Amino acid sequence: MRLSHYLLPVLKETPSEATIISHQLMLRAGMIRQLSSGIYNWLPLGLNVLKKVENIVREEMNKAGAVELLMPTMQPASLWAESGRGDYGKETLIVTDRHNNQLIYGPTNEEVITDIFRNNVRSYKELPLNLYHIQWKFRDEIRPRFGVMRGREFLMKDAYSFDIDEKSAKESYDTMYRAYFKIFKRLGLKAIPFKADTGAIGGDMSHEFQVIANTGESEIFYDPKFEELVDTDELDIPTLRSLYSAADEMHDPAQAPSDVKSARGIEVGHIFYLGDKYSAAMKAEVMGADGKSTTVKMGCYGIGVSRLVGAIIEASHDENGIIWPESVAPFQAAIINVKSGHEACDKACEALYAHLCEAGIETLYDDRKESAGSKFATQDLIGTPWQIAVGPRSLEQGNVELKNRKTGEKQDVPLDKVIAYVT
Ligand code: ATP
Ligand code: MG
């Protein structure tokens, strides 16, 4: 991408409406702009990251055996009457269409997925089944704040499992529990699971996944052993479940270990075992092996995809801007033409840009006639992992200056060897 043809409205000043660092940096890096309270435009750089996060979530869900479909944003309110949970309270946005039917902009999808299931699945032989989608949700939050962290319109991955009995349903639950750690790890995050309140969704077992960050909305307490345990590839679920962790009002100092850690957390995911809460009310039944009709057992599993973009920034930034984990960096490499208009620099940049693009490296080429200082500052702000400065002096030696955003390390590298470094 040539920066001269891109939309990257970076800001030098920190906008006063943003109180937490991720919100400030997302605005300053030109990733998002607020359209209305809690409703955001995702500008090209922001969308690029959002899609990468979304794809990692998708890949791990698929690997865990879940199957993607897509449900609409609008749902008939009549379905919600059937499940018996009523509406979602004041958070629900309800509109009346021209035929006087009420539609809900989906805040979550238990009713719709249960309806799909009961209309299309007949036999225990088709189970277990885990269906998910990645779709925009709307919740009319009382206090939208912190940018995309608590929006009104936000992107969520929500999966729903269907099993013939409780034992199998709990295995499905554990499969998601495991997949969640893989997802957060690939996003460069350390997330800790907490036994959680089942809230408006209902059910009898639930875990929240919290990323530790000073600006988290909830206060969390946990056994320090989690930090190592969640970092291993082979998760020891029984041990994890035996450790103490509690959020806010669930915390009981009498139950906690003496070295309990307290921190603030951002909830990035939430999983629930639902049992037959929705399947019984909405008659989601299949033919069992004994030939009798059986109500299926369900689970539901959410991840805040758009919130994750903010959470990653909370966990990884410095005073100059964002430090993206490579897995979600919008561009892997940036070419900074230190002297646009200088013939040799322009030529070398063009050739390098073509070369990097050909090698499949997502590259942002700053070809604008701006000062070198402002170009460097922009790349630090938007967090490009590899920054390649092409200037007249090093070019005379056939070199460019390569900077690693994370370590700040700079080195002179031969122009024709750059690719080996950035891949
Ligand atoms: P919270 O306690 O933060 O309000 P919730 O319990 O209402 O979240 P769930 O219904 O479990 O959320 O939704 C699944 C995930 O969607 C959450 O774990 C969170 O990451 C994300 N999420 C929920 N509400 C919002 C929001 N208003 N803005 C952005 N992401 C959200
Ligand atoms: Mg929650």
Burial of 154 (0-12, 13-18, 19+ CB in 10 A): buried
Q: Which of 291, 318, 345 represents a domain boundary (last residue)? A: 318
Edge-to-edge strands of the sheet including 386-390? 363-366, 333-337, 386-390, 399-404, 410-414
Minimum-distance ligand 1 atom for the alpha carbon of 151: 28
Reported confidence tier of residue 247, pLDDT bands at 50, 70, 90: confident
Minimum-distance ligand 1 atom for the alpha carbon of 268: 20
- Alpha-carbon span 268 to 181, nearest angstrom: 11
- Alpha-carbon span 395 to 316, nearest angstrom: 33
Question: Percent of the chain having pLDDT more than 90?
Answer: 87
| Per-residue pLDDT at 201 exceeds 80 | no
Quickly count: other Cβ atoms within 10 Å of residue 21's Cβ.
18
Average pLDDT over residues 408-423: 95
Q: Which of 318, 351, 376 represents a domain boundary (last residue)? A: 318
Boundaries of domain holding 361: 333-422
Reported confidence tier of residue 366, pLDDT bands at 50, 70, 90: very high
State the distance from the centre of ligand 1 to the C-alpha of 149, rounded, in angstroms: 9
Strands 410-414 and 297-304: unpaired
CB of 384 closer than 8 Å to CB of 22: no
- Evaluate whether residue 179 is within a structural domain: yes
Q: Which protein residue has the closest C-alpha to ligand 1 atom 6?
A: 270
Quote the pLDDT of residue 204. Answer: 65
Answer yes or no: do 252 and 390 share one domain. Answer: no
Give ligand 1 pocket residues (Cβ under 6 A). 108, 139, 141, 150-151, 154, 156, 199, 267-270, 302, 304, 306-307
| Per-residue pLDDT at 131 exceeds 90 | yes
Answer yes or no: do 259 and 389 share one domain. Answer: no
Q: What is the pTM of this model?
A: 0.96
What is the domain-level CATH number for residue 337? Answer: 3.40.50.800
Answer yes or no: do 309 and 385 share one domain. Answer: no
Structure letter (DSSP) for residue 296 = P
- Evaluate whether residue 327 is within a structural domain: no
Q: Which of 318, 341, 362 represents a domain boundary (last residue)? A: 318
Ligand nearest to the CA of 150: 1
Minimum-distance ligand 1 atom for the alpha carbon of 302: 14
Mean pLDDT of the chain: 95
- Alpha-carbon span 309 to 321, nearest angstrom: 14
- Alpha-carbon span 359 to 421, nearest angstrom: 13
Answer yes or no: do 400 and 261 share one domain. Answer: no
Quote the pLDDT of residue 235. Answer: 85
How many structural domains is the chain composed of?
Answer: 2
Reported confidence tier of residue 200, pLDDT bands at 50, 70, 90: low
Minimum-distance ligand 1 atom for the alpha carbon of 303: 15
Token output for 180 = 């969640």
Dihedral angle computed from the Cα positions of residues 380, 383, 384 and 388, in that order, rounded to the nearest 10 degrees: 10
Higher pLDDT, 214 or 285: 285
Report pLDDT digits (tens) over 229-245.
888 878 888 898 889 99
Ligand nearest to the CA of 266: 1
Report pLDDT digits (tens) over 160-192.
999 999 999 999 999 999 999 999 999 999 999
Average pLDDT over residues 139-165: 97
Answer yes or no: do 266 and 405 share one domain. Answer: no
- Evaluate whether residue 323 is within a structural domain: no
- Evaluate whether residue 324 is within a structural domain: no
| Per-residue pLDDT at 217 exceeds 90 | no
Reported confidence tier of residue 198, pLDDT bands at 50, 70, 90: low
Report pLDDT digits (tens) over 107-123.
999 999 999 999 999 99
Answer yes or no: do 289 and 346 share one domain. Answer: no
Strand partners, 389: 336, 401
Reported confidence tier of residue 246, pLDDT bands at 50, 70, 90: confident
Answer yes or no: do 215 and 296 share one domain. Answer: yes
- Evaluate whether residue 114 is within a structural domain: yes
Quote the pLDDT of residue 234. Answer: 83
Answer yes or no: do 244 and 371 share one domain. Answer: no
Minimum-distance ligand 1 atom for the alpha carbon of 150: 28
Burial of 182 (0-12, 13-18, 19+ CB in 10 A): middle
Report helix, strand or coil for 262: strand
State the distance from the centre of ligand 2 to the C-alpha of 237, rounded, in angstroms: 21
Average pLDDT over residues 377-404: 97
- Evaluate whether residue 167 is within a structural domain: yes
Answer yes or no: do 25 and 101 share one domain. Answer: yes
Residues 6+ apart with CB under 8 A from 345: 337, 338, 339, 390, 391, 392, 395
Range with lowest mean pLDDT among 22-31, 197-206, 252-261, 333-342: 197-206
Q: Which protein residue has the closest C-alpha to ligand 1 atom 1?
A: 267
Quote the pLDDT of residue 333. Answer: 98
- Evaluate whether residue 354 is within a structural domain: yes
Answer yes or no: do 201 and 232 share one domain. Answer: yes
Report pLDDT digits (tens) over 308-364.
999 999 999 999 999 999 999 999 999 999 999 999 999 999 999 999 999 999 999
Quickly count: other Cβ atoms within 10 Å of residue 45's Cβ.
25
- Evaluate whether residue 278 is within a structural domain: yes
State the distance from the centre of ligand 1 to the C-alpha of 230, rounded, in angstroms: 22
Answer yes or no: do 116 and 245 share one domain. Answer: yes
Average pLDDT over residues 67-72: 98
What is the domain-level CATH number for residue 270? Answer: 3.30.930.10
- Alpha-carbon span 243 to 141, nearest angstrom: 33
- Alpha-carbon span 415 to 423, nearest angstrom: 15
Answer yes or no: do 337 and 272 share one domain. Answer: no
Ligand nearest to the CA of 303: 1
Token output for 223 = 């056994």
